Amino acid sequence: MVGSGIMGGMIKVIAGGKKNTGWVAEACTEYEKRLRKPFDIAWNFMPEDKLDKYLSEWPFTGRDFVICCDERGENISSGEFSAKLDKAFAASREVVVLIGGAYGFNDIVREKADFVWSFSKLVYPHGIARIVCTEQIYRASQIIQNRPYHHE
């Protein structure tokens, strides 16, 4: 997969639970440090008991490209994921990635999202899901920018 040359943009991650700490923070920070501008990740952590209500009432306006991480979603390759980000950036849409709490997302949130993304058929603890998400954003940036990190 060769990127379009679009350099990227802001990616907001809204995650259920507490702020990344310990080894999760260390791993996420490592991938975030590697991102080259204008790719950028902004985290918004929310208590799990408030996340579902917040997202159910959130204005899905179409300005954002909303990706809902859920094991019931579509399993795609890294190249396909980078193409989705590239297309969103080319359309000047900000990317918002949702990482749910212990029980995932309700049907309303999944239906309103632009894309429901499954990392695999496996279920991961929050920390590992956050690391996988951050690494895949970094990998996508490398694919879009035609850098050698990703091997096909």
In tens, the pLDDT along 85-108 reads 999 999 999 999 999 877 788 888
pTM: 0.90
pLDDT of the residue at 152: 67
- Residue pair 94/12 in contact by the 8 Å Cβ criterion: yes
Q: Is the alpha carbon torsion for 138, 144, 148, 150 positive or negative?
A: positive
* Superfamily covering domain 10-144: SPOUT methyltransferase, trefoil knot domain (3.40.1280.10)
Average pLDDT value for the chain: 88
Indicate if the pLDDT at residue 2 is higher than 80. no
Q: CA 21: distance to chain centroid?
A: 18
Q: Which tens digit of pLDDT belongs to each residue from 7-31?
A: 578 899 999 988 888 999 999 999 9
137 contacts 39 by C-beta, under 8 angstroms: yes
Residue 1: the pLDDT is 45
The gap from C-alpha 141 to its chain's centroid, in whole angstroms, comes to: 12
Q: Tens of pLDDT along 123-139?
A: 888 899 999 999 999 99
pLDDT at 7: 54
Decide which of 52 and 152 is more confident: 52
Helices 22-34 and 126-144: angle between axes, nearest 10 degrees: 10
Domain boundaries, the chain: 10-144
